[in-house]
Amino acid sequence: MKCPKCEGEMEEGFTTDHVMRRVELPIWYSGIFQRTFWGGLGLRKRDSYYVRTMRCTECGFLEWYAK
């Protein structure tokens, strides 16, 4: 895969998020952001995908995919 910015080679990798001393993978959710009555996120009945990340080995450009 070629970088859309500089035509360099893209390599697959991943990013993480640190939540309460745990390391988590980012997840994409469908729909509009909504809070629940208790202040949490309304995530039930939504499509979700782990996010994979591609990085250009030349310029460092990151491109994220939810698949």
Predicted model pTM: 0.70
Write out the residue range of the structural domain in which residue 25 sits.
Answer: 10-66
Q: Looking at the domain assignment, is residue 5 inside a domain?
A: no
d(CA 2, CA 47): 29
Which helix (H) or strand (E) segment holds residue 31: the answer is none
Domain tally, the chain:
1
Q: Looking at the domain assignment, is residue 4 inside a domain?
A: no
The 10 Å CB-count burial string (b at 16+, else e) for 4-25 is eeeeeebeeeeeeeeeeeeeee
pLDDT band at 3 (very low <50, low <70, confident <90, very high): very high
Q: Looking at the domain assignment, is residue 36 inside a domain?
A: yes
pLDDT of residue 54: 96
Q: Render pLDDT for 6-61 as a digit per residue (tens, 0 to 9).
A: 999 999 998 988 888 899 989 888 988 778 888 788 877 889 999 999 999 999 99
